[in-house]
Structure 1
Amino acid sequence: MTLRRTYAPALAALALLAGCATAPPAADVIAGRLALQVAAHDGAAERQLASTFELSGNAERGALLLTTPLGTTLAQAHWQPGRVELATGNGARVYTDLDALTRDVLGEALPLAALFDWLRARPWPAAPSEPTAAGFEQLGWSVDLARRADGWIVLQRARPPAVTVRVRLDAAS
């Protein structure tokens, strides 16, 4: 089984949610649980992942840790301008940017820079957005904030491959 197929769900979560030597300040941490579903497409089977996560920093410089509910590390990524390091149980890989990581894992780039704002329940300021009854749409994604008061955010992209990310933020996030 190829690395893409074996670790695609964990790497995809790294991509949505998404090495620097200095850790970002603790105040920049967003943590919780996520469930990712990538629909079957072009002969590829549906992929799913459930994980806890800690996302820190920002789109330019940061880190993401994905763990199982029992605390086992699934994947860890660190990034800074020009370099993204990804470590999994199969070793480490280096990419030039977050888009390259997502292209390798999913076959296309995903809007990782926007994720930091989306998880803070606001549109990313670098692209136009449209308000909806439940939140907003941006970059081809629907950001559903209807249950944000309870810690829930749902991100959905309808175009193939359809992707749904359900995030349950920790109370401190």
Structure 2
Amino acid sequence: MPFHRLARQLLAQRLMGLFLWAVCALWLAGCAQPPPSPTGEEDAWSGRIALQMEGQASQSFSAMFELRGNAQRGGLALISPLGNRLAQLEWKDGHAQLISAQETRSSDSLDALLQEVTGTSIPVAALFDWLKGLQTTAPGWRADLSALEQGRLVAHRDDPAPQATLRLALTR
């Protein structure tokens, strides 16, 4: 029985890390604005993302990412340095799904799924605004958009605990 609890706890921590990476990717993608697509396709960003969570057990995560869409419809892929897909997050029409090597999770909303996986609220709409260079406020979060033109975005969460720092570096 204790082994089963430990395994579930480790899986929950990994999933939380994956979702936190997803959030970081959303923020990092906002560092630079891609030119409008001539075909009218959705916004897309890619680059590197890093997330550091403070607390009893400090956690940090980094990966490459590919982000497309907006707060209502889109997808986020987290990719290892070797090019392996670590996780895929998709959302649209009142449904969100996270697929990783460990499991698949679904929810009626992206906000609810991120809350379930990370244990905290993630300001998805604000993230997309930040990526577009709009200084939107989100409770507990503050974003530094001063280096967006250089492809860099940093956001800090002070409340609720644990504190978190999200860094994005865009490649395009």
Q: Which has the higher helix share?
A: 2
- Cα gap change, 1:15 to 1:148, in 2 (>3 Å): closer
Which residue of structure 2 lines up, in the alignment, with residue 31 of structure 1? Answer: 46
CA displacement, residues 102-125 of structure 1 (integer Å, 9 cap, x when unaligned): 21122122111211111222134x
Secondary structure in 2 aligned to 1:60?
A: coil
CA displacement, residues 29-66 of structure 1 (integer Å, 9 cap, x when unaligned): 011111001111xx5x2221101111101110100000
* Higher normalized contact order (CA 8 Å, seq sep 6+, divided by chain length): 2
Which residue of structure 1 lines up, in the alignment, with residue 118 of structure 2? Answer: 106
Secondary structure in 1 aligned to 2:112?
A: helix
Question: Are 2:124 and 1:154 aligned?
Answer: no
Question: Are 2:89 and 1:77 aligned?
Answer: yes
Which residue of structure 1 lines up, in the alignment, with residue 170 of structure 2? Answer: 169
Which residue of structure 2 lines up, in the alignment, with residue 64 of structure 1? Answer: 76
Q: What TM-score does the superposition give when structure 1 sets the normalisation length?
A: 0.79
Further displaced range: 7-16 or 151-160: 7-16
Identity %: 36
Aligned AA (1:142):
R
Secondary structure in 1 aligned to 2:46?
A: strand
- Once residues 37 and 26 of structure 1 are traced to their aligned partners in structure 2, the CA distance between those partners, rounded to angstroms, is 32
Secondary structure in 2 aligned to 1:70?
A: coil
- Once residues 15 and 8 of structure 1 are traced to their aligned partners in structure 2, the CA distance between those partners, rounded to angstroms, is 11
Aligned AA (2:47):
G
Stretches of structure 2 lacking an aligned partner (at least 5 in a row)? 1-6, 28-39
- Aligned-residue CA RMSD in angstroms? 1.8
Q: CA deviation at 1:14?
A: 2.1
Q: Check conservation: 1:53, 1:64, Cα contact below 8 A.
A: yes
- Cα gap change, 1:84 to 1:27, in 2 (>3 Å): closer
Q: Within 5 Å, give how 1:7-156 maps onto structure 2.
A: 7-16=15-24, 17=26, 26-40=41-55, 43=56, 45-124=57-136, 129=137, 138-156=138-156
- Once residues 123 and 4 of structure 1 are traced to their aligned partners in structure 2, the CA distance between those partners, rounded to angstroms, is 32
Secondary structure in 2 aligned to 1:123?
A: coil
Secondary structure in 2 aligned to 1:14?
A: helix
Q: What TM-score does the superposition give when structure 2 sets the normalisation length?
A: 0.79
- Cα gap change, 1:93 to 1:74, in 2 (>3 Å): same
For these two proteins, the number of residue pairs brought into alignment is: 150
- Once residues 15 and 147 of structure 1 are traced to their aligned partners in structure 2, the CA distance between those partners, rounded to angstroms, is 19
